[in-house]
Chains A and B, each alone.
Chain A
């Protein structure tokens, strides 16, 4: 299949619902912790090297053909707050609809049947990448990039941040994206020897705490 499928999958306009989520940027902006391009960059860096690494590794493992139901369970035990588990499954369900329409496969059908309320989004994305003929590293890149592009796009809307500045933040994160995608893929490649524990489990306490706080807001611009 074609490497160009990666552009389709990683495009922010891929109809999988990601635009409605800020990746924790909305509560961070409200708390004054993201207030300009510099603090946005630090937010994205922290997110990339923690939950971004975990999500990229799950996607790489799914793209490599490891059991997606086991990976979904691995995602659950790495997601300690229900707000983020719910978000991941909601996004997974939307990703599944888009992926089955775009790159239909028996493996996607099987995961959709096993997890009718949605599997964790990075697992679905990894399986979609596999169905599109992409490699584990491609899936890891798509997820790692999405980890930072979501908050950057949200910050433009929430802070009226200059879109050029937000894009420059993403460009400066490129070396970190390379390292994260490579580390995620390497971790997934260790599963045959080490089992599912080979996957990273990096955490970010404030993302967990503020996601649960944000879920209780009566009015919010983003779903998460």
Chain B
């Protein structure tokens, strides 16, 4: 099933400072359907090609080793070229752990979507275990006619443990102009993160971003979701540009996913 042969996947390089790994995915249209000319796993990222759905190519990121740990420098680059349809998931939640060093780990995701192309980036959640320290970025470049669905979920601590520290930045550009720029910092050392303005005791936080040029004609409407204090809450709202952003907080990852899925269904009705 996997395109990457065992020889093509370098042996994980875990040194005293951690693993350095960059996985690459490239989707392009060949003969009316999306193919994957590049599917290079690296380090903790093993890439599996899944059965295509229609003309869409599907890739699953499988964790080949425990990561990110302190000191790791991890990167995934995915590009959907003109007209391609690419769907990326992950097999399991990503667990950030402290590792052997208290140094932070980095996990950078670079997504590029060409004209008339679409990309779904829908991995399982990131769990920030006690003592972990992660800096995560998503940098997305969209052509003006590109479409994107991006979900990110952060669960702060495994059940019954305090959270690790996570700092993230999501930057989305469309036709070279910034559409969304958002940073977040949670866990020990982030001032006010658990207070009533930011998370107020919620341990799961996530977003679903939908960019679609059709929103230029018909912007998405505001929807409020949840509301029962024990179930978490969310809002689906239009950005200043042609995009809908769902922002959700919940007591745990399961209830967070319920909110994000409910919001996603609103967009598909």
Contact = CB atoms under 8 A, between A and B. Distances in A.
The SS class assigned to the A binding surface is helix
Contacts of A207: 197-198
A213 B224 contact: yes
Contacts of B90: none
A46 interface: yes
A24 B196 CA distance: 10
Contacts of A212: 222, 224, 235, 237
Interface in A157-211: 176, 196-197, 200-209
Contacts, number: 122
A81 B197 contact: no
B193 A46 contact: yes
Contacts of B234: 209
A65 interface: no
A197 B196 CA distance: 28
Interface stretch (B28-36, B41-49, B52-60, B181-189): B181-189
Contacts of B1: none
Nearest to A195: B178
A78 interface: yes
Interface stretch (B125-133, B157-165, B238-246): B238-246
Nearest to B227: A213
Interface in B183-242: 183-185, 190-200, 202, 205, 222, 224, 229, 233-235, 237-241
Contacts of B149: none
A31 B233 CA distance: 12
Contacts of A90: none
B181 A206 contact: no
Given A46-B191, A208-B235, A213-B224, A201 B196 contact: no
B235 A209 contact: yes
B178 A74 contact: yes
A21 interface: no
Given A80-B245, A176-B191, A209 B197 contact: no
* Interface core residue of B169, B198, B239 (most chain A CB under 10 Å): B198
Interface in B237-269: 237-241, 245, 247-249
Nearest to B224: A213
A213 B249 CA distance: 14
Nearest to A51: B197
A66 interface: no
A42 B196 contact: yes
A43 B235 contact: no
A113 interface: no
Contact of A45 (B183, B191, B200): B191
- Kindly state the interface size class of chain A when it binds its partner: 35 or more
A15 interface: no
Nearest to B197: A46
Interface in A33-90: 33-34, 39, 42-50, 73-74, 76-83, 85
B109 interface: no
B249 A82 contact: no
A28 B196 contact: yes
Given A77-B179, A212-B235, A46 B240 contact: no
Given A201-B169, A212-B235, A213-B224, A43 B180 contact: no
B180 A80 contact: yes
A216 interface: yes
Nearest to B184: A203
Contacts of B169: 201
Nearest to B240: A76
A205 B249 contact: yes
A207 B205 CA distance: 13
B196 A34 contact: yes
A78 B181 contact: yes
Nearest to A46: B192
Contacts of B200: 33, 206
Q: Which 10 A-B pairs have the closest CB atoms?
A: A46-B192, A42-B195, A46-B197, A33-B196, A45-B192, A76-B240, A46-B195, A46-B198, A201-B181, A49-B191
Interface of B: 169, 171, 177-185, 190-200, 202, 205, 222, 224, 229, 233-235, 237-241, 245, 247-249
19 contacts: A24-B197, A33-B196, A33-B200, A42-B195, A43-B197, A45-B192, A47-B192, A74-B178, A76-B240, A77-B181, A79-B240, A81-B247, A82-B222, A82-B238, A197-B171, A200-B183, A203-B182, A205-B247, A208-B237
